[in-house]
Amino acid sequence: MAIQGLWSPLQLPFLQLNNTAIVFIKLYAALVAGTCVASLLCFSLPEFLPGKRALAIALCVYHVTCSTVLFNAPRFIPHSFGALAESYRATPEVMWGTLHGLVGLGFAVWWQATVQIAAAMAKIAKSQ
């Protein structure tokens, strides 16, 4: 989404792309690209660093918000997974929202799993 949104947003499979929508797609693509770069740079850092944990919680909020927006969005992707999928409301927007929700849940689980490590490191740093 980030690469195609920056270089050729008109080729994205969205309905009714006007100039305003294209500008918003480019802004969103820039946000996603910057977030991806920050995530790649923070990935190899130790689990207890505040910057890594702050980025993780920011990404959790971002993905959960995207999930909510996509679940409540009207149809804007002109593709279908078939009549059976449509009968279960399995549209591209809902599937995309589900993926965002799962990624957000993953960040929340990671955040909770590393709370003890961060607390122990903070205690060690305080005692020195």
pLDDT in tens, the chain (128 residues): 789 988 998 888 888 888 888 888 998 999 999 999 999 999 999 988 888 999 999 999 999 999 999 999 888 888 899 999 999 989 999 999 999 999 999 999 999 999 999 889 888 888 88
Tokens standing for 118? Answer: 């961060």
d(CA 76, CA 85): 17
Whole-model pTM: value is 0.80
d(CA 101, CA 88): 18
d(CA 117, CA 48): 6
